[in-house]
Amino acid sequence: MLGRRGNHQTPFYDRIPLPTVGVILTVLCAGAVVMVLPFLWMVSSACKPPAEINRLPVTWAPQNVSCAENLQALYATSPHFTRYMLNTAFMTIGRTLGQLVTCSLAAYGFARFRFPGSNLIFAVLLGLLMVPFQAIVIPEYLLIRGLGWLDLFAAIIVPGTFSAFALFLLRQSFKQIPLELEEAAEIDGANPLQILWRIVLPLSTPALAAFAVITVQAAWNDFLWPLVVTTSAETRVVTVGIALLQGQRNTPWNLLMIGSLLATLPMLVMFALLQRYFIEGISMSGLKG
């Protein structure tokens, strides 16, 4: 695990002269402004009345703040918008919980037990990591269609419950737990499930949290698969919803901006609260290569 491999050293920091610090800060701030500007522009446009959206000269901030009117107009254009948000939330939670359960069970199995062919099976599962989702989206679709799951929540949640990536990450982190703890529990008469639940999982909370956060983020923002398997407003997720809204060529930009804002806000809030786990999760996924 990058930077977590035992040596908790403080990294080396240069002593930099003050003028240089000023230059570095200026450069970094300019870059940061470019990175953040689209968000500010989204919020600003989401609050502009239609008259201000298409007007020259362009203004930075809305003169008549009209978020509420825009929100109403959004619902007039896309009456099921709340439904889309709830669908996204439901599928995100389903996929994340599902992955936590199935992948931690499997990861524990592969971390601690050997059985005929276990290495071979694990190697095959790891091989799946290399297959890009787009390369299997067609057979996956045909499979779901064959099961009669098209346009059902199951079409998104069930395949999204299994992840070779999660299996790999969790197995790594379970393997770092000292074996003695588990052996002691075994002597006390605990069965493997109890050991997993009482010892392994509590000791892996940071890894599980980091993994859960990036799974939530990926599931919330998923687009291609929901686009392919959902057709009706009842199952549509918010990313597909706003993409459709954008596809109707005359949808005004202020409505698209408030829609995008709503679709983005939950992830921004989660990021603000759980930033540490996001960074941890990304660093962990660096292992993937």
- C-alpha pair distances (Å), 73 with each of 47, 64, 189, 237, 260: 12, 16, 63, 20, 14
| Span 103-142, contacts to other proteins by CB under 8 A | 103, 105-106, 108-110, 113, 121, 124-125, 128, 130-142
| Span 56-85, contacts to other proteins by CB under 8 A | 56-58
Least Å distance between CB 125 and other proteins? 6
Binding mask 17-36 for other proteins (x = CB under 8 A): ----x--xx-xxx-xx-xxx
CA dist., res. 155 & res. 148, Å (int): 9
Nearest to 99 by CA among 238, 213, 223: 213
Residue 143 touches other proteins, criterion: CB under 8 A:
yes
Query: 47-75 burial by CB neighbour count: b if 16+ within 10 A, else e?
Result: bbbeebbeeeeeeeebeeebbeebbebbe
Query: 269-280 burial by CB neighbour count: b if 16+ within 10 A, else e?
Result: ebeeebeebbeb
| Span 212-251, contacts to other proteins by CB under 8 A | 217, 220-221, 223-224, 228, 239, 242-243, 246-247, 249
- C-alpha pair distances (Å), 258 with each of 40, 61, 70, 125, 270: 12, 15, 7, 41, 19
**Candidate ranges 9-17, 89-97, 179-187, 202-210; the one touching other proteins (CB under 8 A):** 9-17
**Candidate ranges 11-19, 79-87, 181-189, 200-208; the one touching other proteins (CB under 8 A):** 11-19
Residue 188 touches other proteins, criterion: CB under 8 A:
no
Least Å distance between CB 241 and other proteins? 9
The residue among 66 and 164 lying less far from other proteins, judged by its C-beta, is 164
